Amino acid sequence: MPIRARVFICWMFGPPLRTDEAQRQALDIRTGIAALGLDALASAAYGLEAALTVLTPLGAAGPRHMLPIAATLVALLILVQLSYQQTIGAYPDGGGSYVVVSRNLGSRAGRLAAAALWIDYVLNVAVAISAGVGALVSAFPPLLPHTLALGLAILRRTDAEDSPASHGAPGIAAARVSL
């Protein structure tokens, strides 16, 4: 990593933790759920807006379908929270999808879980970029004809900032940032 990048990261996030400080900074179950749950929340955050967009053609009959959709999303978030709570309890030293699934269902299932998570991150970035461009175009209607170009430019800019470790896979840097 170039020295300028290290200086910026230290300025932005502070210096790296010493080993003896790391234990004090560890997350307990309650803070871990809050920190790790943001990914699930980000993935579901656009659900109600998307539902409203789909239900708009129904006119006045559309909003009555929102309560069941909202209830389903809340139930999904509760299920994710319970899942995170169990995972943190079972793997207090850490364990992402790959580790948890590999240890419980085998390495093949673990690789499938890792691939699914990678796809989720990329789709999360795509939805975030689409929503951001949609908000920008709503605020500045003359940009409407350039919607696709704006989205691709943001994606390209995100990809250009990516690390060499991803081998140029689109949107990986933004997926890491969105976590």
Nearest Cα neighbor of 2 from 163, 160, 157 is: 163
Tens-binned pLDDT, residue by residue, of the chain (179 aa): 788 888 887 777 777 777 777 777 677 777 766 666 666 666 566 666 777 788 888 888 888 888 888 888 889 888 888 888 888 888 887 777 788 888 889 989 988 988 888 887 788 778 778 888 988 999 999 999 999 999 988 888 776 554 444 444 444 443 333 33
Are 167 and 123 found together in one domain? yes
The answer as to whether 40 is a domain residue is yes
Are 75 and 36 found together in one domain? yes
The answer as to whether 20 is a domain residue is no
CA distance 112 to 19: 33
CA distance 163 to 152: 19
Are 90 and 117 found together in one domain? no
Domain range holding 111? 107-179
**Angle formed by the axes of helices 29-44 and 107-139, nearest 10°:** 60
The answer as to whether 11 is a domain residue is no
Which of 73, 94, 115 terminates a domain? The answer is 94
Domain count, the chain: 2
What is the CB neighbour count within 10 angstroms for residue 121? 20
The answer as to whether 19 is a domain residue is no
Are 178 and 128 found together in one domain? yes
Single pTM value for the model:
0.50
